[in-house]
Chains A and B, each alone.
Chain A
């Protein structure tokens, strides 16, 4: 094999290593119980939360003046789901639904775990 192939061979090896690393997800946090119950994805849920919830509950659910602090509050999936579906206080019902609801429930449960 000529020396000219070296960049391609090394590049391909790096691609394979990256893929293996991505498959391993070595630093992925263990799935919180709530996400398993709801089947939601906490990372997509973070995005939904930023869009729909952070204005009242604050970035990362740390409290925003209008809505209560969710971070570290120890809320279970059923409670979050009920709040999302039925509303609570000034929070309107049905802000999100379907897959987005499952995702945001998983995310809120993950940040509320003390």
Chain B
């Protein structure tokens, strides 16, 4: 299969459900952002910063882990289209910001995953990494999905 055909196949697959590849990314990123909010909320409960959620520690931890895994999976098609098809672009400020922050997203993600598994690091390292990752995702959503919903169309 030619490399260019991969792009066409991806577009054909995505447009079975969505009106365009951009619409697909906007909705997938929105779903990932919602799950990132679940991540922040459950992490805050784990760190005892929130008290309105039930105290079932295992359930909270499970929700935290699975919301993170699902959010990561939802970002993969977005990553595929943005990085391997569109590439790093600089036509205007919004796209420059999106390209720059997007380049850092998986780096921050990789660092966060390693920090989770390294118990020798100081206590502030994990929440800092988690909030940085969530902030990165929020900036990416604001500079793409929000732009799409407000400037192009709000629909699938």
| Interface, chain A (partner B; CB < 8 A) | 3-4, 6-8, 10-15, 18-19, 21-30, 41, 43-44, 46-47, 50-51, 54, 59-60
Contacts and interface: CB of A to CB of B under 8 A. Distances in A.
Given A11-B107, A11-B108, A26-B3, A21 B83 contact: yes
26 contacts: A7-B115, A7-B121, A7-B129, A10-B110, A10-B114, A11-B107, A14-B110, A15-B104, A19-B88, A21-B83, A21-B84, A22-B88, A22-B103, A23-B88, A26-B84, A27-B80, A28-B4, A29-B4, A29-B8, A30-B4, A43-B22, A44-B91, A50-B19, A54-B19, A59-B15, A60-B19
A22 B151 CA distance: 25
A15 B3 CA distance: 23
The secondary-structure label for the interface of chain A is helix
A21 B86 CA distance: 10
B7 interface: yes
A18 B107 contact: yes
A66 B120 CA distance: 65
B20 A27 contact: no
Contact of B86 (A4, A11, A25, A59): A25
B77 to A, nearest CB: 12
Given A59-B15, A60-B15, A7 B110 contact: yes
Contact of A7 (B22, B85, B103, B118): B118
A3 B87 CA distance: 33
Contacts of B120: 3-4
Contacts of A28: 4, 7, 84-87
